[in-house]
Structure 1
Amino acid sequence: MTEQLVGQLGYIGIALILVLGGFGLPIPEEAPVLLAAILTRNGQLNGPLAFSSCMIGVLLGDFLVYLIAYRYGERVLSLPLTRRLLTKAREAQIKGYFHRHGFKILILGRFAPGFRTAAYLTAGILKLPPLKLLLIDLVAVLLSTSLMFLLGYLFAHQIEKGLHEAQQWVAIAIAAGVGGWLMYRHYQGQRRAGLPVGPPVLVNEDVPLPPDDLEA
């Protein structure tokens, strides 16, 4: 889905995926950034525009989540989507992080899977100062996005090769799984029908002796 959106919408597609990631789309933030870097290395995107799209997408996703929670406060937890992303226990835990570590938790938390959306929802519920949050978020995004974009650009060919090999292994695993499932279904069908399953079994009590030339 990521490659299709980027292919059809270009820079807007990159930003859109990152915004949706802020709302809990199950795609790691690093994936579209790495994809943008690889496409830049291959000459399909302009580097500064691709990087800017990544920055804007991440910042916009963070702040839309923050503003929704800022507007509705604790009531935001009654929404089906936010209940999945931020439970009461998780909210209390992140509030403790903010009280102990302040805004530093937003920088460190960017590298923790599943933390981004919950942290900005909690920041909105706590009504943390928007301008200060924007500056801290800008620093955090600049660090994480720059690192991912640089790694994606430098190791674009290795990443593409690894993805291609992974796709091949996934295809083999799927084919093996489907084949095993079909064999199992056939075996179960034969058993239910009362038909013999497996190699034929001798029913004669006289077991044939081995040929003489096999005796040592």
Structure 2
Amino acid sequence: MFETLLKFFQDSPFSMWGPFFVLILCGLGLPVPEDIVLVAAGALGEIDGRSWIQVSVLMYAGVMAGDSMIFLAGRFFGRRLRKSKWFQKIFPEAKQDKVEAMFDKYHSWVLFVGRFLPGLRAPIFFTAGSAKIRFWKFFTLDGLAALVSVPVFVWLGHWLWKNFKDDIAELERTLHRTQSYTLVVTGLIVVVILLFVLSRVRASRAKRAE
């Protein structure tokens, strides 16, 4: 997938905007790994002489645009879409029940975790919209999660191309190895943040109970 994206957008007018629009489609449910798109964007940025920070800003906008579109679809069309047969094929009742159970347990913080759950990301954001959760809350929590993931993967693509551009096979082998480590580190960061947040929420509830 990485090499395919690289060949398709390299040396084209869409070397940056191509991955941007792919990320929007990923937010809407396109079955393409978002992290691979971000890594490819980082490599394309290095090829074009752009800094990974500049690329990260644009990719962040693409990620948030895609997520916002699925959230707003839930907000304005949620009830009608849930009854349609094609929607139930995409989001079967078992998946909907799982998402609703996560909301019951973790409340709005599911929006933060949802960024790191590719198979459940779109259903979580759609459910949040149909449940009338405030847009600013969704955007803040999802945006915080994207601030963790987007720059990490863009930088990784930038670094990989800078070091292995003459050897695509070695680049992809290194990507496969480092991708696992990156996901673990990102997951640990998310867990630490969630534990901190949950501890604050419990402390707040305990004070109110007193």
TM-score, scaled to structure 2: 0.69
For the residues of structure 2 that align with 1:81 and 1:163, how far apart are their CA atoms? 40
Indicate the residue corresponding to 1:176 in structure 2.
Answer: none
Larger RCO, structures 1/2 (Cα 8 Å, 6+ apart): 2
Q: 2:149 aligned with 1:144, yes or no?
A: yes
8 Å CA contact 1:11–1:49 kept in 2: the answer is no
Cα distance change on mapping 1:91 and 1:2 into 2, 3 Å: same
* CA drift at 1:46: 4.5
Q: 1:98 aligns with which of 103, 113, 135?
A: 103
Per-residue CA shift, 1:172-202, capped at 9, x if unaligned? xxxxxxxxxxxxxxxxxxxxxxxxxxxxxxx
**Is the 2:16–2:45 contact (alpha carbons within 8 Å) kept by the matching residues of 1?**
no
Secondary structure (helix, strand or coil) at the match of 1:9 reads coil
Structure 2 spans left out of the alignment, 5+ residues: 175-210
Counterpart of 1:146 in 2: which secondary structure? helix
Q: 1:29 to 1:165 in 2, by over 3 A?
A: closer
Deviations 1:81-117 (A, max 9, x none): 6334312221121111112112322322322231211
* Inter-partner Cα distance in structure 2 for 1:79 and 1:28: 27
Counterpart of 1:114, as a letter, is G
CA–CA distance in structure 2, aligned partners of residues 165 and 147 of structure 1: 18
1:194-205 correspondence to structure 2 within 5 Å: none
Secondary structure of the corresponding residue to residue 128 of structure 1: coil
Do the aligned partners of residues 105 and 164 (structure 1) sit closer, same or farther apart at CA in structure 2, a change above 3 Å counting?
closer
Q: Structure 1: any 5+ residue segments left out of the alignment? A: 167-216
The equivalent position to 2:54 in structure 1, one of 49, 69, 81, is 49
Alignment of 1:48-127 (within 5 A): 48-79=53-84, 82-127=87-132
For residues 21-40 of structure 1, the aligned pairs below 5 Å read 21-40=26-45
Deviation at 1:19, TM superposition (A): 0.5
TM-score by length of 1: 0.67
Q: CA deviation at 1:138?
A: 0.9
Q: Does structure 1 conserve the Cα–Cα contact (< 8 Å) formed by 2:27 and 2:67?
A: yes
Deviation at residue 163 of structure 1 after TM alignment: 5.5
Tell me which residue corresponds to 1:2: 5
Matches of 1:59 and 1:81, distance apart in 2: 25
* Aligned counterpart in structure 2 of residue 161 of structure 1, from 149, 169, 190: 169
Q: In the alignment, what sits opposite 1:201?
A: none
Give the share of equivalent positions with the same residue, in percent. Answer: 23
Structure 2 CA distance for partners of 1:55 and 1:88, relative to 1, 3 Å: same
Secondary structure of the 2:118 match is coil
Greater shift in the superposed pair: 7-16 or 154-163: 154-163
1:79 CA displacement: 4.8
Displacement, 1:64? 0.3
Which of the residues 19, 22, 26 maps onto 1:17?
A: 22
Change (3 A) 1:143 1:80: farther
Give per-residue Cα distances to partners, 1:127-181, cap 9 Å, x unaligned: 1111111111110111111221222223334584346679xxxxxxxxxxxxxxx
Cα deviation, residue 22, structure 1: 1.1
Displacement of 1:41 in angstroms is 2.9
**Where is the helix percentage greater, Structure 1 or Structure 2?**
2
CA RMSD of aligned residues (A): 2.5
